Amino acid sequence: MQKSHKNGNRRLGTRVAVIAGTAGAVLAFAAPMASAQDPVDNSIPGAAVCPATAESCVSVVVQSGTFDNNGFNLPIGKGDMIIAAEAGSGEGESTVLLPRDDGHHGVYSKPLTVPGGVLGIDLPFGNLFGLAAVTAEVQATAAPTLNGIITDMDLSIPVRMKINNAFLGDNCYLGSAAAPVNLRLAPDPSVVPTYTVLPDNALKVSPVGNQATGFALPAASGCGPFGVLNPIVNWRAKVPATSGTSLSTISDAYLYPGGLTGSDPLDDLGGGTGSSGSSGSSGSSGSSGS
């Protein structure tokens, strides 16, 4: 198994090197794709999670996005989510990521503010001093998989969504480790990326567009004492749902060898405890939950 893993990494590392080299040749003759005069930031987001011994690593940094469930909208802001891990051995046309052992499975998400809070309308005094505020945190239940050509950034991620509010307790979820929400974030053909060769045999792919549609969302569980608040969460989030769901994101992606300088996603999460996340937009017509 170890030999197979090393061979898989070596093949993937070679693919990344070939891609980077090819992109460099193209960039030399096609300046509009990526200007050689642009300043280069050698620090790669999320690179700190990838061990120095890794031959190839992946970081996907979400710049913007929207989650929608039949009119219930959740905006995703710049830096609210990052996927960072070592790229493992390939199996057929897929590559399983090998995350750091920190409980996040390679997916680091800030708690995202739900516009309108509990009732779908922003109440005075900071949503009643936070009592009516709601955040949602995407948590991976297993490592993501890259499907097809690695530069397509076609991602499969099993997740659950943690719902946070002063009255909901610490175990309010949509989905679970045993029965996750399965997201297939396929490439958005309307978004055309450019390829920028960075120092140290790294490659930046940006913008990367991804879309997931028609995924099932289960009813809430564990909300409030003995789940007594599950019905309120179900009403607000419009779950369970088997259609009318979508997730779209625009990201920057990086392919690079281990040992490069870069940030640690846990630092942005406040040591793993999360942050205030996106502010959202008050009074959003799609967030009323009605």
**Quick check: is 290 in a domain?**
no
**Quick check: is 74 in a domain?**
yes
Please tell me the distance from the alpha carbon of residue 287 to that of residue 279, in angstroms, as a whole number.
13
pLDDT along the chain (290 residues), means of 10: 43 45 34 40 86 95 95 91 88 83 96 68 36 82 93 94 90 96 96 94 96 96 94 91 96 96 87 37 33
**pLDDT at residue number 140:** 97
Beta bridge partners of 136: 112, 163
Domains in the chain, number: 1
**Quick check: is 124 in a domain?**
yes
**Quick check: is 99 in a domain?**
yes
Q: Which domain holds residue 257?
A: 2-268
pTM of the model: 0.77
**pLDDT at residue number 19:** 44
**pLDDT at residue number 90:** 61
Please tell me the distance from the alpha carbon of residue 3 to that of residue 87, in angstroms, as a whole number.
15
**Quick check: is 180 in a domain?**
yes
**Quick check: is 185 in a domain?**
yes
Q: Angle at the Cα of 80 (from 76 to 83), degrees rounded to 5?
A: 115
**Quick check: is 50 in a domain?**
yes
Token pair recorded at residue 106: 């390679």
Contact 184, 212 (CB under 8 A): yes
Contact 27, 40 (CB under 8 A): no
Contact 238, 67 (CB under 8 A): no
Beta bridge partners of 209: 250
Contact 173, 222 (CB under 8 A): yes
**Quick check: is 279 in a domain?**
no
